[in-house]
Amino acid sequence: KGHLGHMQGAAGGVEAVAAVLTLHNGVVPPTVGCAEVDEDIALDVVTGAPRPLPAAGDLVLSNSFGFGGHNAVLALRRV
């Protein structure tokens, strides 16, 4: 949503494409609109510039959370 706005029913498909491109290109895109993360939060957030996918990065998760509790997770692996 940060990159393209809310695409309603297409949001999950676009997120899945972004996850596949992350695997294909070996680069994790930054989180748009997040300049800094509170240091008390133990969370590795990619901010600013893209970051290379770790060498062991052959699996990504694509999470989709919809209205009314319609939730899904795709586990995508490089083959």
pLDDT tens column, 37-58: 898 989 888 988 999 988 777 8
In the structure encoding, which two tokens stand for residue 47, read together? Answer: 């901010």
pLDDT band per the 50, 70, 90 thresholds, residue 13: confident
Domain 8-77 class in CATH: alpha beta
Question: End-to-end distance of the chain based on CA atoms, in angstroms?
Answer: 28
Decide: 19 and 75 in contact? Cβ < 8 Å: no
Domain ranges for the chain, please list them.
Answer: 8-77
- b (16+ CB within 10 A) / e for 52-72: ebeeeeeebebeeeeeeeeee
Q: Is the overall model pTM greater than 0.85, yes or no?
A: no
In the structure encoding, which two tokens stand for residue 18, read together? Answer: 């972004």
